[in-house]
């Protein structure tokens, strides 16, 4: 008998023992290796419960294939939920019927395929009536941003992802996608419920949705997917948090909390968006609401609070379509109903004709021109309350002539506003139910709700109370309010996982000029710690690896001096994944051939960040170099001097022209650039992609002197393709360039109060010709 | 009391009497004028039965508006079905609930609106649960072909058109259309059942469908319309008999009998085409089957007999799509199932890549190129029987690589054929059930049916027998066959209407040379009669009006001579609507300034036709002139001489460039053209429209001598845009032209065996640049 046979025999004996000992009909099998797991799966029958022993399983592909029954599913569960780790190059596939996966924790790794969890094994072996529950996937990112994957991909029918916590995806690809290719996956009635979608960092380009339901190529198919009772917290990946691209999906009772994006009916039709909470902070303009494309959607009973997003990110954005649109572009909005929603302290909540680009008809082909306004659309029975009055409740980027406004009531505090004929003003009150939740009360019952075709199907309100015999307008029936506890984390995600990070009190670590002390203390520090450098000179020969949030600052007011004598083309600070460096009050110099800061050249599986304040930087080849496929959410230079460098802030390596860029927010304030010869600021985004609406550059209160002399294109501040640019209150002196900047007028590019002496000019070009992506 | 008030009083008294006399709860109201009808409608309550007295109602718009109930509908019915005529400029609109219209006969007129019958009164007043039954609409045509209308237009939901006979539409516009604009009309579940759609003449261009379900602009909407148990007899309007343009429609158990078109899933998705009969005659290539565009259709249990159509009109035509197609063009075929169908004596029944036009990429924009092949499509469990073997069962205009072929069985009589690996050959038999219906029997039960995703939903066969426990392939379960009596007219249409025309024995009417005798006898003749002209000369000064089928011929073998001395630009024979003239063995001459034959210039509410045989025609300005918006199904010149005319056969006035043309079949055989100076044959079709696949020109065995001398464009036979052209066995002598013809190589244009002497050449141009229509 060889060892495998022996092993099998032992296993079978174990099974027999387990089965015979078990008082229930369940057959429990405890496994603790890949091999025993695979064997247990292959032998499982209805009712089998495979228990994965606590521990870490590395580089494992679990093909969970089996035929359970409704009453006796086959279960694969963690011995202790949260104590079973799937790590390394690993993934899970389910194929068959009535399978349950419970309690696994995916971390410290990435999938070898396109999915971490796939509800199929092959196109013919899909999952039906299968469930993934109580699991966690955190930071399970590919090593490069452009290496795309989907963490959970649905195939088949009647599958469920519930009570999971999923966060931290940085690479290309939606976090969750429902696939509809093939008759095996239509009318799927999948359920995505009670999950906590934790923070998804900004991706810096498209393809960073949290959930995508199908694709344009299956946008004609009935999906019938339900997304209900989930918490979406800071899902900032891109402009769409949920992208519905198929038909008859239902998005109900979810909470969108400070998420920088919208629920978008991007393709497909007849989506129901009912009873959701959209909560902003009144400050962040990137927090979105609902954006509408296509036909037949019902937007009812939703509650919008403190949203100030504009245009694509407005609380209700109704887009213009392309007449006879190609399959993958923007269909006209028709037959949409927006009824019984409540808007509290939202700025210009209703925007129509969003995305109109008729003005760009000279630089775009006709098949890209969004000129078709919404038709046969009804906006009725909504309630708006503004603590401070709003002069423009409706913004018509293009005409809302095809929209019927009926029985919409507003308290605008008596402040006059445009389009008064589209509203009924009334003096009702606001009652606080809880943090973020305010209920309009005392609306006159004499205002009769509009009753359009199909309105009888709006049977309940935001809280689930029956609308029968009620004439209440807005999302909440009068007098029915109780605290929905929308942020109670117990309601969402895996029961065993606590996504709240405990408060961390930063250690302050003193660093001496002793050779190696700085590097050692950086390595030893905890995330968030502060390294204080004693006065003196720190001569460094090897790059300092930053792979966590750290602050490095001079101990006193006197600047410590870091002098780099490392090799050519090496950075002083090597910014690794998760490396977020704050450098304060430091003098940093090189020999003219190295870099002050640089990302890794590859394997940047997570974002970096950089904040430079009160520093003096001189004699580098590059001040900052971010390589292709790297991304920082924020890069800031403030109150600093940068001088005698060949290149400045170089963020233009991401030239895939798919709308991607290298940093979300680049801020330069109160700095002095002197003799930076080229790429003083070089920040690039390529590709015509109307839904990539970053990045953001602000250059203010700064001086640029004798810079750009070697700039080949003759432009000092290169911002090509960046959507938001503001150049304000700067002084440009004796820079040998043709232009200080070439701004994109059609987008949010502005300049003001700059002084230009012997430095060319700032030119604004209304329409930029971009490479078409579609 | 004025007369109206008095009249109202009388009416109310009548009502009271009727109500009190009626033993049932129904309230019957007999009305015999428009006014009393309108009043009765306005006063109707649930259960009211409005009886329209026998007679003719002219120039009436009936707004049938009311609220009946399921148990007590409001009925508007003919006193005697078929004895109540709606004539003149008239129409019917229904708005409200539970209304029934029964027994009306629409004839001798046309609608003042876009509909003869509309299931709405206004966009807000649509019909729900309303029924039009037992009615007839015949030849209710607008006066001009381009004046478009729809005879029955559905709006609202749950309406029914059943047991009606509808035939003879010649003007632009589908006969029946379901409208889906607005939420009031989606998921309509309308029923179109047990109707007899009688002959619809060829229209000569697009927009001649018999039923159209929605339009491309609503192609994203769920329609759920049922078309069941109807007879479509010679519905020849255009290439589509039924054009499904929305989602989830069901086309079931219909009979398509010698109809020159197909059932086409033109837009929209997930159409079920189940258990229909497609019956051809083995001769007419225009009789079609099912043509597939878009996603998710199920083509099951259908029976195809004696179909020899090609390409667009093949029994199963699976089209290529345009990648990322614009909304109104051709989407790719995906996820289609073609299963359990039976094909008996059909030529090359399965054609894939239909409509591919990759070769035209130089003359068409990219957005018109159909290069996307069918994907994820399954063709399974079908049966093919060929009495004579077929060498090409499958034609791949483009590759069928995305199609899975499974368990398709064939008896090809041992004849070798291509793609054998896609079939299972077997020696089964054919059993005759009745005329046109043959049942394959004796197929080995060892051939296991393929079981794809969703196949379990194919629960019955063509005859409605359960498929449970059956392994039968093809449309019919073995041993379950009984005569379905598909042509039993009692099953379809209005019970009181007999669409069969009794055999007519033509009168032979002798005509003398006496002045006025010919004209008088033409006027007095019945349709189909034969006028025999005694030998001699008939001098005619006024055009002879032809408004019915007539034959005019010489009595003996000697040709009677018709000499026209009428005014300039008048025709000898004025072809009116319905005027189909056969002229035989006649000598016809003018003074060089008139026309031999011409249509009316306007008000051609129906088609004309012309057959000239054994005639001699000379000295006219035009031999034939067909004006704009006129149409003939057939025009034939045979064994005739045409000489000394300024112009020949002029059929090029239809220049709307929407694919329309003036004659379906133009045949010139064994004729001699001499000194016809221009437009010898001038036949035109304009506009790029791949689905207009006529007209047809055949020129054979003829001689053209000294013709075309004044032709400005230098082409003798002008055929621009005509899809089917054959020029065979002709002699061209001394014609001062550059080209005899310029043929369109990409279409079905051919030439062979022609002798050209001093007459230029025949040139073939592969791709013709046409005006884009879409």
Helix axes A3-21, A34-43, angle to 10 degrees: 60
CA distance linking residue B100 with residue B622, whole number of Å = 53
- What tokens appear for A479 in the block? 């007098």
Of B247, B294, B454, the CB nearest to A183: B454
Cis omega (within 30 of 0) for bond into A695: yes
Contact at 8 Å (CB) between B719 and B696? no
Contact at 8 Å (CB) between B22 and B28? yes
Return the closest-CA partner of residue B691 out of B22, B84, B241. Answer: B241
Residues in chain B: 774
DSSP type of residue A450: P
Q: Mapped to the 3 state alphabet, what secondary structure does B476-523 carry?
A: CCCCCCCCCCCCCHHHCCCCCCCCCCCCCCCCEEEECCCCCHHHHHHH
Mean pLDDT value across residues B647-659: 94
Q: Which residue of A lies nearest to B296 if distances are taken between CA atoms?
A: A183
Residues of A in contact with B296 (CB under 8 A): 183, 186, 220-221
CA distance linking residue B95 with residue B98, whole number of Å = 9
Contact at 8 Å (CB) between B473 and B449? yes
- Judging by DSSP bridges, how do beta strands A437-441 and A429-434 pair with one another? antiparallel
CA distance linking residue A319 with residue A299, whole number of Å = 14
Terminus-to-terminus CA distance in chain B, angstroms? 61
Q: Mapped to the 3 state alphabet, what secondary structure does B634-678 carry?
A: EEEEECCEEEEEEEEEEECCCCCCCCCCCEEEEEEECCEEEEEEE
Distance from CA of A14 to the nearest CA of B (A): 38
- What tokens appear for A469 in the block? 């015999």
- Grouping H, G, I as helix, E, B as strand and the rest as coil, residue A500 is coil
- Judging by DSSP bridges, how do beta strands B437-441 and B429-434 pair with one another? antiparallel
Residue B14 has pLDDT above 80, yes or no: no
Q: Say what the pLDDT of residue B1 is.
A: 45
Nearby residues of B10 by Cβ (< 8 Å), 6 or more positions away: none
Q: What's the ipTM?
A: 0.92
Contact at 8 Å (CB) between B271 and B297? yes
Q: How many angstroms separate the Cα of A78 from the Cα of each of A18, A20, A136, B125, B543?
A: 17, 22, 12, 61, 97
Of A218, A222, A335, the CB nearest to B182: A335
Contact at 8 Å (CB) between B34 and B57? yes
pLDDT band at residue B464 under the 50/70/90 scheme: very high
CA distance linking residue A81 with residue A628, whole number of Å = 39
Q: Do A183 and B452 touch (CB under 8 A)?
A: yes
A464-503 residues touching B, CB cutoff 8 A: none
Residues of B in contact with A183 (CB under 8 A): 296, 335, 337, 376, 452-454
What is the set of domains in chain B, with CATH numbers?
315-484 (no CATH), 543-765 (2.160.20)
Q: Which residue of A lies nearest to B124 if distances are taken between CA atoms?
A: A453
Residues in chain A: 774
- B265 near A CB under 8 A: no
Model confidence pLDDT, tens digit, residues A427-437: 999 999 999 99
Q: Which residue of A lies nearest to B323 if distances are taken between CA atoms?
A: A327
Q: Say what the pLDDT of residue A385 is.
A: 98
CA distance linking residue A641 with residue A613, whole number of Å = 9
- B324 near A CB under 8 A: yes
CA distance linking residue A386 with residue A206, whole number of Å = 33
Distance from CA of A366 to the nearest CA of B (A): 11
Distance from CA of B183 to the nearest CA of A (A): 6
Q: What is the pTM of this model?
A: 0.94
Question: What is the per-residue burial (b if ≥16 Cβ within 10 Å, else e) of B28-67?
Answer: bbebeeeebbbbbbebbebbbbbbbbeeebeebebbbbbe
DSSP type of residue A20: H
Nearest-5° Cα angle at B279, B278 to B280: 125
Residues of B in contact with A269 (CB under 8 A): 220-221
Q: Say what the pLDDT of residue A27 is.
A: 93
CA distance linking residue B39 with residue B16, whole number of Å = 15
Nearby residues of A421 by Cβ (< 8 Å), 6 or more positions away: none
Q: Say what the pLDDT of residue B22 is.
A: 44
- What tokens appear for B699 in the block? 């020129």
Q: Say what the pLDDT of residue A113 is.
A: 98
Nearby residues of A194 by Cβ (< 8 Å), 6 or more positions away: A162, A163, A228, A229, A230, A491, A492, A493
Return the closest-CA partner of residue A621 out of A676, A666, A561. Answer: A676
Q: Which residue of A lies nearest to B270 if distances are taken between CA atoms?
A: A221
Listed in sequence order, the DSSP H helices in B406-487 are none
Q: Say what the pLDDT of residue B535 is.
A: 96
What are the φ and ψ backbone dihedral angles of B613, each rounded to 5 degrees? -135, 135
Mean pLDDT score of chain B: 95
Residue B601 has pLDDT above 80, yes or no: yes
What are the φ and ψ backbone dihedral angles of A23, each rounded to 5 degrees? -80, -30
- B221 near A CB under 8 A: yes
pLDDT band at residue B9 under the 50/70/90 scheme: low
Terminus-to-terminus CA distance in chain A, angstroms? 61
Listed in sequence order, the DSSP H helices in A123-259 are none
Q: Say what the pLDDT of residue A688 is.
A: 82
CA distance linking residue B372 with residue A371, whole number of Å = 28
Q: Do A220 and B324 touch (CB under 8 A)?
A: no
Model confidence pLDDT, tens digit, residues B67-78: 999 999 999 999
Find which of A183, A186, A376, A456 to mutate to test the B interface (most B CBs within 10 Å of its CB).
A183
Q: Say what the pLDDT of residue B8 is.
A: 57
Q: Say what the pLDDT of residue B770 is.
A: 76
CA distance linking residue B562 with residue B590, whole number of Å = 9
Of A181, A268, A329, the CB nearest to B376: A181
What are the φ and ψ backbone dihedral angles of B27, each rounded to 5 degrees? -110, 110
Model confidence pLDDT, tens digit, residues A666-704: 999 999 999 999 999 999 999 888 888 889 999 999 999
Q: Do B182 and A326 touch (CB under 8 A)?
A: no
- Grouping H, G, I as helix, E, B as strand and the rest as coil, residue A632 is strand
CA distance linking residue A192 with residue A176, whole number of Å = 10
Q: Do B183 and A334 touch (CB under 8 A)?
A: no
Q: How many angstroms separate the Cα of A318 from the Cα of each of A206, A302, A372, A637, B184?
A: 20, 16, 11, 38, 21
Q: Say what the pLDDT of residue B280 is.
A: 98
Given a cut of 50, the residues of chain A with pLDDT beneath it are: 1, 13-24
Q: Say what the pLDDT of residue B25 is.
A: 59
Q: Do B326 and A367 touch (CB under 8 A)?
A: yes
- A181 near B CB under 8 A: yes
- A748 near B CB under 8 A: no
Residue B536 has pLDDT above 50, yes or no: yes
Nearby residues of B139 by Cβ (< 8 Å), 6 or more positions away: B107, B108, B167, B168, B169, B170, B606
């Amino acid at each position: 008998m060889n060892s495998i046979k022996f092993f099998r025999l032992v296993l079978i004996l174990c099974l027999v023992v387990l089965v015979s000992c078990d008082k229930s009909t369940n057959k429990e099998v405890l496994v603790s290796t890949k091999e025993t797991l695979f064997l247990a799966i292959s032998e499982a029958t209805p009712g089998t419960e495979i228990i994965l022993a606590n521990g870490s399983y590395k580089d494992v592909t679990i093909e969970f294939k089996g035929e359970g029954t409704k009453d006796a599913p086959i279960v694969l569960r963690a011995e202790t939920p949260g104590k079973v780790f799937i790590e390394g190059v690993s993934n899970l596939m389910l194929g068959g019927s009535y399978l349950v996966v419970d309690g696994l924790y995916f971390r410290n790794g990435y999938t070898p395929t396109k999915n971490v969890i796939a509800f199929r094994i092959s196109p013919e072996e899909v999952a039906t009536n299968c469930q993934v529950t109580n699991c966690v996937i955190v930071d399970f990112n590919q090593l490069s941003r452009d290496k795309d994957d989907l963490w959970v991909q649905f195939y088949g029918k009647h599958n469920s992802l519930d009570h999971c916590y999923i966060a931290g995806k940085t690479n290309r690809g939606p976090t969750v996608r429902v696939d509809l290719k093939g008759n095996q996956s239509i009318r799927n009635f999948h359920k995505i419920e009670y999950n906590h979608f934790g923070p998804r960092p900004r991706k810096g380009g498209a393809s960073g949705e949290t959930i995508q339901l199908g694709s344009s190529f299956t946008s004609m198919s009935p999906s019938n997917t339900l997304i209900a009772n989930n918490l979406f917290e800071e899902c900032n990946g891109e402009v769409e948090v949920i992208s519905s691209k198929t038909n008859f999906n239902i998005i109900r009772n979810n909470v969108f909390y400070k998420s920088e994006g919208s629920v978008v009916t991007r393709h497909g039709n007849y989506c129901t968006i009912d009873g959701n909470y959209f909560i902003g902070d009144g400050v962040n303009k990137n927090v979105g609401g609902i954006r509408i494309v296509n036909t037949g959607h019902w937007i009812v009973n939703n509650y919008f609070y403190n949203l100030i997003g504009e245009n694509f990110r407005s609380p209700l954005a109704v887009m213009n379509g392309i007449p006879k649109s190609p399959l993958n572009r923007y269909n006209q909005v028709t037959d949409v109903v927006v009824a019984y929603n409540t808007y509290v302290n939202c700025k210009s909540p209703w925007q129509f004709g969003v995305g109109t680009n008729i003005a760009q008809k000279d630089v775009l082909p006709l098949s890209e021109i969004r000129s078709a306004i919404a038709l046969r659309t009804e906006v009725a029975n909504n309630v708006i309350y503004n603590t401070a009055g709003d002069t423009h409740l409706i913004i018509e980027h293009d005409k809302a002539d095809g929209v019927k406004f009926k029985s919409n009531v507003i308290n605008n505090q008596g402040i006059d506003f445009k389009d008064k004929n589209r509203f009924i003003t009334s003096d009702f009150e606001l009652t606080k139910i809880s943090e973020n939740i305010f209920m309009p009360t005392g609306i006159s019952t004499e205002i009769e709700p509009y009753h359009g075709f199909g309105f009888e199907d709006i049977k309940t309100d935001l809280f689930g109370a029956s609308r029968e015999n009620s004439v209440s307008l807005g999302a909440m029936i009068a007098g029915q309010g109780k605290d929905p506890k929308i942020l109670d984390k117990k309601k969402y995600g895996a029961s065993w996982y606590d996504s709240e990070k405990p408060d961390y009190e930063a250690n302050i670590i003193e660093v001496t000029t002793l050779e190696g002390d700085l590097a050692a203390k950086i390595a030893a520090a905890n995330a968030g710690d502060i390294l204080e450098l004693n006065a003196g000179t720190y001569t460094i020969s090897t790059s300092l690896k930053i792979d966590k949030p750290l602050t490095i600052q001079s101990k006193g007011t006197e600047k410590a001096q870091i002098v780099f004598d490392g090799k050519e083309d090496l950075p002083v600070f090597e910014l690794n994944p998760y490396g977020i460096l704050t450098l304060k009050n430091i003098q940093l110099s090189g020999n003219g051939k190295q870099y002050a800061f640089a990302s890794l050249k590859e394997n940047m599986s997570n974002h970096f960040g950089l904040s430079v304040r009160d520093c003096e930087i001189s004699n580098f080849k590059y001040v900052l170099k971010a390589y292709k496929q790297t991304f920082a959410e924020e890069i800031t230079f403030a109150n600093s001097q940068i001088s005698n460098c060949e290149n400045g802030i170089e963020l233009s390596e991401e030239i895939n022209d798919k709308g991607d860029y290298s940093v979300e927010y680049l801020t330069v304030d109160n700095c002095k650039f002197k003799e930076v010869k080229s790429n003083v600021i070089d920040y690039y985004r390529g590709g015509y992609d109307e839904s990539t609406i970053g990045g953001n550059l602000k250059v203010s209160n700064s001086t640029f002197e004798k810079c750009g002399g070697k700039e080949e294109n003759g432009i000092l501040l290169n911002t090509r393709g960046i959507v938001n640019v503001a150049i304000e209150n700067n002084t440009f002196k004796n820079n040998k360039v043709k232009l200080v900047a070439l701004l994109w007028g059609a987008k949010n590019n502005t300049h003001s109060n700059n002084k230009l002496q012997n430095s060319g000019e700032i030119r604004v070009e209304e329409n930029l010709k971009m490479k078409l992506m579609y």
